[in-house]
Amino acid sequence: MQNKNVHEQFENMDKLSEECGVFGIYDFDGGDVASTIYYGLFALQHRGQESCGIAVSDTKGPKGKVLSYKGMGLVNEVFTPENVDIDAMKGDIGVGHVRYSTAGSSTRENAQPLVINYVKGTLALAHNGNLINAIELRKELEYTGAIFQTTIDTEVIAYYIARERLNSKTVEEAVGRAMDKIKGAYSLIVMSPRKLIGARDPLGFKPLCIGKRENAYIITSETCALETIGAEYVRDILPGEIVTITPEGGIQSDTSHCLKKEEQARCVFEYIYFSRPDSHIDGVGVFQSRMQAGRFLAIDSPVEADVVVGVPESGNAAAQGYALEAGIPYGTAFVKNGYVGRTFIKPKQSNRESSVRIKLNAMKEVVNGKRVIMIDDSIVRGTTSDRIVGMLKEAGAKEVHVRISSPPFLWPCYFGTDVPAREQLIAYNRSVEEICQVIGADSLAYLKIERLKEIVNNLDICSGCFTGKYPLEPPKEDIRGEYQK
Amino acid sequence: MQNKNVHEQFENMDKLSEECGVFGIYDFDGGDVASTIYYGLFALQHRGQESCGIAVSDTKGPKGKVLSYKGMGLVNEVFTPENVDIDAMKGDIGVGHVRYSTAGSSTRENAQPLVINYVKGTLALAHNGNLINAIELRKELEYTGAIFQTTIDTEVIAYYIARERLNSKTVEEAVGRAMDKIKGAYSLIVMSPRKLIGARDPLGFKPLCIGKRENAYIITSETCALETIGAEYVRDILPGEIVTITPEGGIQSDTSHCLKKEEQARCVFEYIYFSRPDSHIDGVGVFQSRMQAGRFLAIDSPVEADVVVGVPESGNAAAQGYALEAGIPYGTAFVKNGYVGRTFIKPKQSNRESSVRIKLNAMKEVVNGKRVIMIDDSIVRGTTSDRIVGMLKEAGAKEVHVRISSPPFLWPCYFGTDVPAREQLIAYNRSVEEICQVIGADSLAYLKIERLKEIVNNLDICSGCFTGKYPLEPPKEDIRGEYQK
Amino acid sequence: MQNKNVHEQFENMDKLSEECGVFGIYDFDGGDVASTIYYGLFALQHRGQESCGIAVSDTKGPKGKVLSYKGMGLVNEVFTPENVDIDAMKGDIGVGHVRYSTAGSSTRENAQPLVINYVKGTLALAHNGNLINAIELRKELEYTGAIFQTTIDTEVIAYYIARERLNSKTVEEAVGRAMDKIKGAYSLIVMSPRKLIGARDPLGFKPLCIGKRENAYIITSETCALETIGAEYVRDILPGEIVTITPEGGIQSDTSHCLKKEEQARCVFEYIYFSRPDSHIDGVGVFQSRMQAGRFLAIDSPVEADVVVGVPESGNAAAQGYALEAGIPYGTAFVKNGYVGRTFIKPKQSNRESSVRIKLNAMKEVVNGKRVIMIDDSIVRGTTSDRIVGMLKEAGAKEVHVRISSPPFLWPCYFGTDVPAREQLIAYNRSVEEICQVIGADSLAYLKIERLKEIVNNLDICSGCFTGKYPLEPPKEDIRGEYQK
Amino acid sequence: MQNKNVHEQFENMDKLSEECGVFGIYDFDGGDVASTIYYGLFALQHRGQESCGIAVSDTKGPKGKVLSYKGMGLVNEVFTPENVDIDAMKGDIGVGHVRYSTAGSSTRENAQPLVINYVKGTLALAHNGNLINAIELRKELEYTGAIFQTTIDTEVIAYYIARERLNSKTVEEAVGRAMDKIKGAYSLIVMSPRKLIGARDPLGFKPLCIGKRENAYIITSETCALETIGAEYVRDILPGEIVTITPEGGIQSDTSHCLKKEEQARCVFEYIYFSRPDSHIDGVGVFQSRMQAGRFLAIDSPVEADVVVGVPESGNAAAQGYALEAGIPYGTAFVKNGYVGRTFIKPKQSNRESSVRIKLNAMKEVVNGKRVIMIDDSIVRGTTSDRIVGMLKEAGAKEVHVRISSPPFLWPCYFGTDVPAREQLIAYNRSVEEICQVIGADSLAYLKIERLKEIVNNLDICSGCFTGKYPLEPPKEDIRGEYQK
């Protein structure tokens, strides 16, 4: 029931949305970790911009006393001096979260980390991903007396950990038993009074890695968060692995839930768009995989042209790859307005101005009189592509050849990505030829599906949104958005 | 972890704090109830100023879809157009809450109504009171797999209703079974998808009454909320009664938890201070009981004087009673600054100004050269009484005789009132004579304990905070503030 | 262009509005004065609630360096830690202001104090009142090259002081010369780099007094502000007097603009409603003059009744006077909700609730079955009187006799009070009999015009709003609201 | 006296700051222009991020009625639905402004447009630049009775226009006469009740151009604002030209203040850094001039390397120029975090994290094992260059050769750019060799001063900040920051 602005807000740039980023830290030397989490969340902000939160605890203090603050908005909107005094959040262990969500459940109640009291004290959970059996699990829990205060899967996971804890020697054992129940995509960080635990689903949909800075250990979604805080990368958490961090044991690993390599199913869109280009996931650099996608486009869908340009920011890497492979100069055709911000009002009396124009402008010098190859990472609904192509033409481009560094979206995602309804996808019921006409390009080509594995060094991937073939049986009914209050 | 102002905030006026006010409504004609709840909460604002919330549902709509908004602050601070569009909160059934809390747990997470999903859909709960077996119940629940996200008793109650619902035919039956478990003070409103339920603990600590406006039924803490929204008073809910409101059944009553009259134990401080003077509780007018306390003071502790004045606002009624009984003129000695607001900053460079002076000022014309009887409803820590007495003396009062319309506070309350630690109570370890000296009065008298029953028409009351004799065995450890996250 | 809430806001309680309160201080001992001004403004808040501001300077520091902060809203809304750090406003001399304004010019630009740079450094001005020759003066100034950035008279005054300063030896001399130009009502405080100056218009429309606390001198609108900060009252500034405060000269007085006593024309409404009851103006207590008005009503317009009640807060003093004079018991019939605040939204879906009900409620015990005399200080439009009378009747009053402690409003005010257009005044074109019917009372009487002087100890007054006879020729066109940007 | 955050805020990226951007529009067809100004200001936001404002008027409405709103912050922070309803700002003529300022005078009072009333009605002024004779002019004005409420030069200009208007037939004539008085840098837009006027100082320091969209004419700082709103570029306003736009006369030009071409002195830093790369100033593309600077660096200061990278965003264009000229591949070495925002808090407990790391990260793949040429547009204090170089080395760069696409800063600017005190400039008292050591680079070279004219097609420029040779005699005392209140 958060009020929406009375003015219509401008549409976004027609991109998919990641659902979360997680960051946990345990400083054995006892330093206060809240500020480090705060900086880490800045580095993960691209993974979720709707809400964020930090929870910390003092492992030497009263058992399970957690200080937390959560709110709607960006990290620098939520963690202001007026709202919260980060310096007063004392603790040597903590967890943070940034979140995006589908429209309906974008409420404060659903912000994370989720902090709970249970039989053994307190847990704070931060979770990235989507369970596919959440409805069944909720029903099962409700039939044994559970109540739910949020609509996030994290609450389901918390319940199972709490319940399995009654039969487990340790909290990490309870996490493992909970993993026997839950199905789907999850990269999970659990802060217990004395332990920091990271767990990644057996298929490895979402990234999760370990870092170290002096005597502090970090678990987080992306390596870029490690670099931002000056930590060194230790390793990725394996798909299916549970990692427990304690001063006594350092990094302890439980790999009993790990599958065979070929059963893994990393979300390939993490490489194509979601993750920051300076991150590495499971040993593969995101920037490199985008460059490689561009190279494959140059090989598979060549066209004569004078300049290769990327749609900022995410199209730039592939454009550079294309340019190198094709031997055509790379150029910067667009200026992006960095001051626009996430949302701004659209006055009613405005009728000639477009949001795309405010965010992007094309530079005549670069494209005037030229044949241009324009690289973007994806087309979802196609609501802005025609305007961007049009901008190049107005700036004098003789031809605009569009190359997309991923295959066409055709299917929903059940594992944590917010794909619009099929009817809204431009590729649904349209040939590439038809899409090319819609966006007004002179030619259009997508990355071939068979190239997907190649751009990630032949890691095993999930490409369900392109192929409709999912590594796990999707739920029969579309569950996304079901548990909206 | 809400940030506190960087400047020290001014202390309050040395009064006890009520913990909550509740308001529920079911409009059988289908009108939108959110705005009525909003107005009702204004009338209950004196019962709690730290947070408030509204939850509504449409009984004809999708089962259990609840729209809610909660926040920290007063009703007019939380329900602003920027925060929430009340008109968009469509529903014919709803519940609202205002809350005060002890310092530690004054967090957004603890704001009410508590909205939960459980096996039968959705419940919204609003609760006033304090359970004395909350810790045992939490432990019991945790040992069967419960997790807690707040530190409020409402969550414990919600769990028991949810669990007992599995074995009950109706939700009101589940409420009754939950009442078998919980012990202490509670006036509870439960909104289920198709029913509005009110329940009052068997001892009747906290008030709860029923009203009606056209085809809408209201359950709320005080009758003043009924008058504010233009509803007529129907009756009080009996101690121990469960009332279920449905279009089919009207008001249905379950009195199986009711006790004998003499086992009831209404909080007498509701009459002395908490409730609004225009409210009636269980047939006794609050204003009248305060007038009566003043009359008893005049009878039991007479003194010669020229004028009787009350410390605004709560001392005025007793002052009028005293004046009438004693035949001494009633006067208005104090001007209260209505613009000060709940909190304001105290600059560090300020050292001569006092918060009492800003809130109150004495009028020379009324007291200059006179012997003054000053009536207040209570003295808690005694931190402001000396300043108020001093104000009268500076304004020229020859004598100041203080009369308090309640007995001295000596004991903690376990049933929902925030009494400071004993060491902070001015009456702890001090005789009346000594207190008189501390506050600089010429004489001091309190209401006699035996008068308490008389001022409420011989209703059965709890006077534990004055006597240390509680109607229910208090918990062994002081549980208040235990479950602070 | 401040945005209005999207929801209609509730109407106010049908009272006139004062336009300003002023507060100046010079601490010869060098203490920081910002916090004292802040507290003083709290005590003046009833004189203006739309904007407020503080400006301070260090007389030992760089000449004319002024630190100031102004904003829209109440003192505790504007001076929050987020907005401004009062402790960082270092200075031993300063001036503060609270402001009400007619709708159109309620903008941030018009907030005071007005801080200007001119040929001799810096001036900060705080002004209460209204000039009647402002338009002519503005035109005159503009024809000699002046530009205006606000629509407040203060800017006109500032210009004349600045210009006359060129021909004057001292700033106070320039203030005197400016007073030769300006006509109308003004109580003015001017802070120059080394002097604090207070000036009151020759007719003395608006109050202005001097106080002292240790080695600090205060000039302010009302004595209640002195008491709030713990200062002692020294004396009122005379109508027409200019007072200059410096460490060398103490209080220096220039009475060359003073008129004969019988030419003075204090605003009588300061006594009837505007000023706080604990203030004294020119030696007459506000509370006493209200009591006296009540007594006259009892003498001039007696009626048999069982209880006398006041409409809070401003009707209470006159009600006590009436009760004493008539020998009828005084009672408290209304409970006022102190949490409503200045503004709150009125949801569109609300149609049964009224703002009066939310702010006031009547107590049955006090009026049920009784003949009630209800005293109010004034009726302006009459938009709420009928509801308040109706409230008493619903609460069981057999008869309601309304007595108003001022004569009927019939004429505009040109001297700083915001009286609605004549057509909106209930007394315009209606006999007392007719008004009585409109508000549903059993009888109605106003204070007689000839009593006005008597209630203020025969001080000379302006009663233009009641009589249409003004002590200064009013401007030909209605100038109020003219200079709206 | 705006409160600074209690936490230290992170330092910026060591860049100079432009002081303003201006935007005016007159729609002869009567469309509401406020929303167009709003979009235009987004496109100018890089020119000033501290405050912004819009003023509009209806040329068919009451003469000189202006609606305006100004505030501290970015366009999307100030123009929110809570603050102001843009749709209610009706008008067919208007002017907008974005502002940066040196620390001291960053106050709401100084926000623009400045709206004044004067003898002929209302004027709204928006100004970019800095006068060098402002102090003399202020003194002159004060000695003839002027008062000042801001510390901005715009107020001085407004005074002269108002005064000269008394002796002028038209407002544009008065603008011309005011230009005879004022000296320095200014691009000025004046909105009178019926005319939109643009004026550019005779030396042409700051850009100002004209655009057209259907029947509406626009005057603005940069051509990118024209493209953003879909207007076409008409021409630049000449240095010294006054342009008056009316429905009757279209664009009327007064060139009587124009100088000979070689006397002009465009700020070359507009090309190097301030203006957006997609803008053109006086016929020269900003992107092209940066590319050209990069080419000259490659010619004048070649070095063997494997990759050329730019420091985002402003170094990218020069890096592309260098890469093309040198035949070395261009690469993207840095990821810039677009979510950091203008300001964010730095918790006290943070001691290891740096602001640079949060804003920028280097990509190993691109630089590991390589000799890198890193292009930046300027080094001011040098506070971040060492960290950026360090970042590349940590990412594995074998060598880092820094090339700066402007000469070293050595002198203050008196014409509207905020250059730090000389002692803070890294080039002050240091040789290029020494700077190279400070920043830890393997080699360092700056653009040669003689190249400056070449990169802007031999337009006449001001390069005072590099050479100390100014086109106008600078004031004897440093006046910047003088008129701080």
Q: Are residues D57 and D115 in the same domain?
A: yes
C82 touches chain A (CB under 8 A): yes
| E strand or H helix at B395 | none
C442 annotated binding-site participant: no
Q: What is the per-residue pLDDT for C103? A: 38
Lowest mean pLDDT among A59-68, B94-103, B260-269, C440-449: B94-103
Q: Are A405 and A314 in contact (CB under 8 A)?
A: no
Q: What is the per-residue pLDDT for B38? A: 96
Say whether D293 sits in a helix, a strand or coil: helix
- Taking each continuous run of H as one helix and of E as one strand, the counts in chain B are 15, 24
Amino acid symbol at A466: F
Vertex A410 angle, CA A407 and A414, to 5°? 105
Q: What is the per-residue pLDDT for B7? A: 45
Spatial separation of the C-alpha atoms in residues C346 and B310, rounded to whole Å: 34
Distance between the two ends of chain B, CA-based, in angstroms? 10
Q: Nearest CA to CA, how far is D6 from chain B (Å)?
A: 9
Average pLDDT on A390-412 reads 96
Name the phi and psi angles at B157, rounded to 5.
Answer: -60, -45
Average pLDDT on B387-405 reads 97
Beta-strand ranges (E) seen in B148-205 are 184-191, 196-200
CB D115 to CB C159 under 8 A?
Answer: no
- Higher-confidence position of B74 and B4: B74
Secondary structure (DSSP) of A297-361 = HHHHS----SEEEE-TTTTHHHHHHHHHHHT--EE--EEE-TTS-S--B--TT--S--HHHHHEE
Q: Are B188 and B198 in contact (CB under 8 A)?
A: yes
- Does residue D184 surpass a pLDDT of 50? yes
Supply the residues of C annotated as catalytic: 20
| E strand or H helix at A225 | helix A223-228
Q: Are residues C248 and C337 in the same domain?
A: no
Q: Nearest CA to CA, how far is B153 from chain A (Å)?
A: 13
Q: What is the per-residue pLDDT for D173? A: 98
Average pLDDT on D8-32 reads 80
Per residue, what are the HEC states of A360-389?
A: EEECHHHHCCCEEEEEECCCCCCCCHHHHH
Amino acid symbol at A450: E
Helices D153-165 and D134-142, axial angle in degrees (round to 10): 50
Question: Chain B residues with CB inside 8 Å of A114's CB?
Answer: 149
Say whether B142 sits in a helix, a strand or coil: helix
Q: Are D456 and D187 in contact (CB under 8 A)?
A: no
D11 inside domain: no
A258 annotated binding-site participant: no
- Does residue A351 surpass a pLDDT of 90? no
- Does residue B46 surpass a pLDDT of 50? yes
Q: What percent of chain A has pLDDT over 70?
A: 94
Helices D385-394 and D432-439, axial angle in degrees (round to 10): 50
Q: Are C347 and B87 in contact (CB under 8 A)?
A: yes
Q: Are residues A30 and A73 in the same domain?
A: yes
Taking CA atoms, what residue in A is nearest to C80?
A82
Pick from A4, A33, A35 the residue to mutate for testing the D interface (most D CBs within 10 Å): A35
- Does residue B286 surpass a pLDDT of 90? yes
- Higher-confidence position of D472 and C348: D472
Catalytic residue among B20, B209, B224, B436: B20
Cα distances (Å, whole numbers) of residue D20 to A485, B79, D41, D126, D289: 47, 38, 11, 9, 22
- Does residue D103 surpass a pLDDT of 80? no
A475 inside domain: no
Strand bridging mode C266-267 / C461-462: parallel
Tokens of A393: 């033409």
Which one of D6, D81, D82 has the shortest CB-CB distance to B6? D6
Taking CA atoms, what residue in A is nearest to B162?
A145
Spatial separation of the C-alpha atoms in residues C463 and C471, rounded to whole Å: 9
Q: What is the per-residue pLDDT for C101? A: 65
Tokens of A389: 């192509």
Model pLDDT for residues A367-381, shown as the tens digit of each residue: 999 999 999 999 999
Name the phi and psi angles at B17, rounded to 5.
Answer: -125, 130
Tokens of B427: 């009456």
Q: What is the per-residue pLDDT for A345? A: 78
Question: Chain B residues with CB inside 8 Å of D6's CB?
Answer: 6
Average pLDDT on A58-78 reads 90
Is A20 a catalytic site residue? yes
Neighbours of chain C (3+ CB pairs under 8 A): A, B, D
Amino acid symbol at C6: V
B281 inside domain: no
CB C85 to CB D147 under 8 A?
Answer: no
Q: What is the per-residue pLDDT for B121? A: 93
Tokens of B127: 């609760």
Asked, as a colleague might, if the bond just before B239 is cis with ω within 30 of 0, I would say: no
Q: Are A397 and A430 in contact (CB under 8 A)?
A: no
Q: What is the per-residue pLDDT for A477? A: 62
Q: Are residues A121 and A229 in the same domain?
A: yes
Domain boundary among A217, A236, A264: A264
CA-wise closest residue to C199 among C165, C154, C249: C154
Spatial separation of the C-alpha atoms in residues D86 and D96, rounded to whole Å: 13
Average pLDDT on B45-72 reads 92
Instruction: Tell me which residue range forms the domain holding B61.
Output: 20-264
Lowest mean pLDDT among A343-357, B70-84, C427-441: A343-357
Model pLDDT for residues A215-248, shown as the tens digit of each residue: 999 999 999 999 999 999 999 999 999 999 999 9
Average pLDDT on B386-406 reads 96
Average pLDDT on D411-415 reads 93
C319 inside domain: yes
Beta-strand ranges (E) seen in B255-398 are 266-267, 280-281, 284-285, 307-310, 330-331, 334-336, 360-362, 371-376
- Residue-level length of chain B: 485
Model pLDDT for residues B176-188, shown as the tens digit of each residue: 999 999 999 999 9
Q: Are residues D309 and D409 in the same domain?
A: yes
B276 inside domain: no
Average pLDDT on D190-203 reads 97
Spatial separation of the C-alpha atoms in residues C131 and B203, rounded to whole Å: 66
Q: Are C110 and C457 in contact (CB under 8 A)?
A: no
Domain total of chain C:
2
Q: What percent of chain B has pLDDT over 90?
A: 81
Beta-strand ranges (E) seen in C264-409 are 266-267, 280-281, 284-285, 307-310, 330-331, 334-336, 360-362, 371-376, 399-404
For residue B485, what pLDDT band results from cuts at 50, 70 and 90? very low
Q: Are residues D100 and D60 in the same domain?
A: yes
For residue B421, what pLDDT band results from cuts at 50, 70 and 90? confident
C86 inside domain: yes
Model pLDDT for residues C386-428, shown as the tens digit of each residue: 999 999 999 999 999 999 999 999 999 999 888 888 999 999 9
φ/ψ bin of A82: left (φ > 0), alpha (ψ from -120 to 50), beta (otherwise): alpha
Model pLDDT for residues D281-299, shown as the tens digit of each residue: 999 999 999 999 999 999 9
D377 annotated binding-site participant: yes
C122 touches chain D (CB under 8 A): yes
Q: Are residues A257 and A288 in the same domain?
A: no
Beta-carbon contacts of residue B206 (< 8 Å; ≥ 6 apart): B128, B129, B185, B186, B187, B200, B221, B267, B270, B416
Tokens of B361: 């000022």
Spatial separation of the C-alpha atoms in residues D395 and D328, rounded to whole Å: 20
Model pLDDT for residues B107-142, shown as the tens digit of each residue: 778 889 999 999 999 999 999 999 999 999 999 999
Question: Chain C residues with CB inside 8 Å of B392's CB?
Answer: none
Q: Are residues D365 and D438 in the same domain?
A: yes
Q: Are residues A228 and A321 in the same domain?
A: no
For residue A104, what pLDDT band results from cuts at 50, 70 and 90? very low
Q: What is the per-residue pLDDT for D146? A: 96
Model pLDDT for residues D306-340, shown as the tens digit of each residue: 999 999 988 999 999 999 999 999 999 999 998 88
Q: What is the per-residue pLDDT for B404? A: 98
Average pLDDT on A333-360 reads 82
Tokens of D221: 């700082």
Average pLDDT on D147-164 reads 96
Beta-carbon contacts of residue A253 (< 8 Å; ≥ 6 apart): A238, A241, A242, A243, A244
Spatial separation of the C-alpha atoms in residues A87 and A93, rounded to whole Å: 14
CATH number at residue A75: 3.60.20.10
CATH number at residue C398: 3.40.50.2020
Q: What is the per-residue pLDDT for A19? A: 77
Q: What is the per-residue pLDDT for B356? A: 85
Chain centroid to CA B296: 24
Model pLDDT for residues D350-379, shown as the tens digit of each residue: 777 777 888 999 999 899 999 999 999 999
Beta-carbon contacts of residue D413 (< 8 Å; ≥ 6 apart): D130, D419, D464, D465
- Does residue D384 surpass a pLDDT of 50? yes
- Does residue A103 surpass a pLDDT of 50? no
D3 inside domain: no
Tokens of B46: 């004196």
Q: Nearest CA to CA, how far is D68 from chain B (Å)?
A: 22
Instruction: List chain C residues with pLDDT less than 70.
Output: 1-13, 101-106, 342-343, 477-485
Name the phi and psi angles at D157, rounded to 5.
Answer: -60, -45
Q: Are residues D371 and D432 in the same domain?
A: yes
Lowest mean pLDDT among A2-6, C152-156, D339-343, D458-462: A2-6
- Higher-confidence position of B344 and B58: B58
C137 inside domain: yes
Q: What is the per-residue pLDDT for C432? A: 97
Q: What is the per-residue pLDDT for A193? A: 92
Q: What is the per-residue pLDDT for D341? A: 73
Q: What is the per-residue pLDDT for B100? A: 84
Q: Are residues C377 and C452 in the same domain?
A: yes
CB atoms within 10 A of CB A2: 11
Q: What is the per-residue pLDDT for B341? A: 73
Q: What is the per-residue pLDDT for C217? A: 98
Say whether D279 sits in a helix, a strand or coil: coil
Q: Are residues D253 and D390 in the same domain?
A: no
Spatial separation of the C-alpha atoms in residues D95 and D126, rounded to whole Å: 7
